[in-house]
Structure 1
């Protein structure tokens, strides 16, 4: 029974995590002794599932940041080297040449999306929401680890208390055996009474051993959650748990549920997923709208086929000179002579036209707008929107399931707390009654009014009631703290 009640003790997440006392001097603890905060800190630092969730938070955060940069212009640079032989097009003059040509080209370009159906904006919003979802999932994963650690921690404390109860039972049985031994030796009681008491002592010792084994098992569970070797010794700092006052809880089921829905990370994550799904629908719908983009750039090129020198005019006028033609000739008397042509040229000089001069002379720039209007895309946009709406509906149902689960847990915790209060009250009354009954039985046994069987029955009843009282005590306190957890209250006091 006690193990099952521990599984439902959700108190631990808040208690275990949010109780560190900052600014206070930490109490020096014995070796291999851990507080609840130490156990949870170690478990969170070493648990692979938590680390995986943390990596997912980083990934979604990077996606959100990168999507915001998508709204800015892109900038790129490209360069090329080419070699050709034979009949080629000269990249410098765009005419055919019959020679080997080396060429370079360089381009610097930028582009930006001006409008694409608000897909960029909605993608930024959706990725930001997804980053918040992964953060809430991390909180839920941490809560799960903290829950399991604290359950094992508190189970150790409970088993230690049960061991103390069992040890007191053994001590009482030992005293009774020693006393009966003397009475048997004096001939006052029959030896059968002594044998019955020794059998009872053996049962009490077995109960003690079982409780000690349960303690070792709960310690092993805690060490495994902390990723510690099973052979390493471990002790825990006992959390003081006061006896229940059995006062009525301060809030109703509906009030507890309202606060839980507004604070639990799994509920927040479910609601954020709905928002993300809505943005996914808008993104799918935006693919059917026109898009407009702007591009700009600058480029240049070099060709080895270009002349290495150029005539540069100095702007001072022109000069007329006679130049023999290289294409027109006359023949007279068997002699072929070139025709003399009178050519007017500007004044200037021949200058070298090097690599960088050619790059500078070949510069060109561009600026363009690009408009795309989808007319018919085989109904791709239509069905993408329809599927996005279906996914949104499914996520909404998942959020409803999360809400129903929280309500179920709150209602169950409230009923369990009420039943635990009744059980603890009845068990406390039982212990008081059986304590008095055992006192009377012990007096009567000492004077020989009852036999050892009746005495052992009275003692066994009291021992069983004391164990039940410990369990019902933790049961009631733990279930009360579950409700405190749902109420988002600090759980520092037991």
Structure 2
């Protein structure tokens, strides 16, 4: 039984290790970043806050209901509420009540506040879309940088293999006295330089992997890696459109313009909200109150034997004194708690009208202030359109330039390949020295690396144009 348990634990550990060491595709990286990137999560919190703001606006249409209760003791010289006599005593009194209020009219501020909250939610959604587009581009750029670094290392290793083969042949030719020893030293120097470049390339791979992992929110840098495969160029037909066609589409689809438009609508709604303060407000209210006391209650009375009557007034015409029986109240236990609450309750209800007359120009100034914000939002919208036009034009031009650079790099790489093959043939028969051979090989390596760089640069810039053209980030093809 123990052996089976141990085997299960080993299998589980092996599966976890395999899961940790999975290799990520570009599509997986983008999708994971859209859900787990810290900046995306922060923007999602803004969307959540806008939803709370919307619920606040809905709550303004609901009556306010509050309940209160208190039970207090008072010790010292106080008036006896039963006899009206000041005396040192400890009294206990209980009170409770319920109040409700409803705004019937407030210059339509409730409706406008709800509309503003809806606009705010829309603006937050646009901001989230823009953040996702930006993060997707950052991830794609970082991913392609890792891939370039890996393929750069592969080129260096491939060329280093050629150098090792040449080192062996050169050693044989030097030993046979066909080539001078200086050629052997030149090949060894080239070998050492290539090893140094491979070490730097490996470091660049690790650094670029860490940068990509941080964008994804992954902290297990040691086990993070990507799928090593070549990416073809898709979507270059997007450049068949004119730059102005891309610009017009971007103005309709891009979140930058939608955010600026939403901010302008919010500023205009703030003006309407401020103007509502010029209008009167009408509220309805309802209150219910009751009370109970621990004080003794009067249950009856008897004549005071020492002073059976007391003066209550004087007849003005005759100066005759008016008297009444002078009774001493008889005190009893207080009524039961619930009975007192029932007897002592009461309600009040009605309407309250508030008419603004003068408040130190505060409302007027707030309206003016919000009107200034509307103008600022209009300028920001205009600036956003100008920035978008410039960015699209730049992206479109960069993509076309990157394509031309990629084609030129391919031509240069092919030419240097032929030159290197020719230099190799000449070196093998002793018609050129090791220095010229090494220089030809270095030029060939550089053109290969430059072709890779131009390719991935073109792919990235092409994806930027596709995003501006309105293609959703999840539909980008790599």
Band the TM-score falls in, shorter-chain normalisation: 0.7 to 0.9
Q: Distance in 1 between matches of 2:112 and 2:187?
A: 80
Q: Could you report, residue by residue, the CA deviation over 1:39-77 in whole angstroms, capped at 9, with x for unpaired residues?
A: 456656665444433333333322220221111111112
3-state SS in 2 of match to 1:189: coil
- In the alignment, is the contact (CA less than 8 A) between 1:481 and 1:491 conserved in 2? no
Structure 2 residue aligned with 1:61 = 51
3-state SS in 1 of match to 2:79: strand
Structure 1 residue aligned with 2:282 = 292
- In the alignment, is the contact (CA less than 8 A) between 2:234 and 2:477 conserved in 1? no
Q: Distance in 2 between matches of 1:224 and 1:33?
A: 16
Taking the TM superposition and a 5 Å limit, the aligned residue runs for 1:39-54 are: 39-40=29-30, 43=33, 47-54=37-44
| Structure 1 residue 189: Cα displacement | 2.5
Q: Distance in 1 between matches of 2:63 and 2:296?
A: 36
- In the alignment, is the contact (CA less than 8 A) between 2:144 and 2:456 conserved in 1? no
Q: Does 1:465 align with 2:447?
A: yes
Change (3 A) 1:199 1:130: same
For these two proteins, the number of residue pairs brought into alignment is 435
3-state SS in 2 of match to 1:117: coil
Structure 1 residue aligned with 2:212 = 222
TM-score (norm: length of structure 2) = 0.80
- In the alignment, is the contact (CA less than 8 A) between 2:63 and 2:101 conserved in 1? yes
Q: Distance in 2 between matches of 1:247 and 1:328?
A: 113
| Structure 1 residue 143: Cα displacement | 4.0
Q: Could you report, residue by residue, the CA deviation over 1:151-188 in whole angstroms, capped at 9, with x for unpaired residues?
A: 22221111111111111111122222222222222222
Q: Does 1:493 align with 2:473?
A: no
Q: Could you report, residue by residue, the CA deviation over 1:248-268 in whole angstroms, capped at 9, with x for unpaired residues?
A: 723222232333333333433
- In the alignment, is the contact (CA less than 8 A) between 2:253 and 2:470 conserved in 1? yes
| Structure 1 residue 131: Cα displacement | 3.0
Q: Distance in 2 between matches of 1:449 and 1:157?
A: 38
TM-score (norm: length of structure 1) = 0.77
Change (3 A) 1:172 1:378: same
| Structure 1 residue 239: Cα displacement | 4.8
| Structure 1 residue 403: Cα displacement | 3.0
Gaps of at least 5 residues in structure 2 are: 1-17, 312-322, 326-333
Change (3 A) 1:165 1:447: same
Change (3 A) 1:433 1:270: same
Q: Does 1:392 align with 2:392?
A: no
Q: Does 1:456 align with 2:438?
A: yes
Q: Distance in 2 between matches of 1:449 and 1:426?
A: 30
More helix by share: 2
Change (3 A) 1:198 1:114: same
| Structure 1 residue 305: Cα displacement | 5.5
Q: Does 1:172 align with 2:162?
A: yes
Taking the TM superposition and a 5 Å limit, the aligned residue runs for 1:394-409 are: 394-409=376-391
Between stretches 62-71 and 246-255, larger displacement belongs to: 246-255
Q: Distance in 2 between matches of 1:130 and 1:355?
A: 52
Taking the TM superposition and a 5 Å limit, the aligned residue runs for 1:104-183 are: 104-183=94-173
Q: Distance in 1 between matches of 2:20 and 2:67?
A: 65
Structure 2 residue aligned with 1:314 = none
- In the alignment, is the contact (CA less than 8 A) between 1:87 and 1:96 conserved in 2? no
Structure 2 residue aligned with 1:356 = 338
3-state SS in 2 of match to 1:249: helix
Q: Distance in 2 between matches of 1:491 and 1:199?
A: 49
- In the alignment, is the contact (CA less than 8 A) between 2:292 and 2:340 conserved in 1? yes
| Structure 1 residue 147: Cα displacement | 3.5
Taking the TM superposition and a 5 Å limit, the aligned residue runs for 1:31-430 are: 31-40=21-30, 43=33, 47-83=37-73, 88=79, 90=81, 96-98=84-86, 102-229=92-219, 232-242=222-232, 249-303=239-293, 307=297, 327=309, 354-430=336-412
- In the alignment, is the contact (CA less than 8 A) between 1:224 and 1:230 conserved in 2? no
Q: Could you report, residue by residue, the CA deviation over 1:276-303 in whole angstroms, capped at 9, with x for unpaired residues?
A: 2111111111111111111112222334
Gaps of at least 5 residues in structure 1 are: 1-27, 311-323, 330-338, 342-351
| Structure 1 residue 86: Cα displacement | 5.3
Change (3 A) 1:88 1:132: farther
Change (3 A) 1:306 1:467: same
| Structure 1 residue 374: Cα displacement | 1.0
Structure 1 residue aligned with 2:465 = 483
Q: Could you report, residue by residue, the CA deviation over 1:194-240 in whole angstroms, capped at 9, with x for unpaired residues?
A: 33333333333333333222212212222333455576232211354
3-state SS in 1 of match to 2:239: coil
| Structure 1 residue 425: Cα displacement | 1.4
Change (3 A) 1:268 1:241: same
Between stretches 180-189 and 78-87, larger displacement belongs to: 78-87
Between stretches 147-156 and 38-47, larger displacement belongs to: 38-47
- In the alignment, is the contact (CA less than 8 A) between 2:213 and 2:221 conserved in 1? no
Q: Could you report, residue by residue, the CA deviation over 1:364-417 in whole angstroms, capped at 9, with x for unpaired residues?
A: 222211111111111111101111111222233333333333222211111111
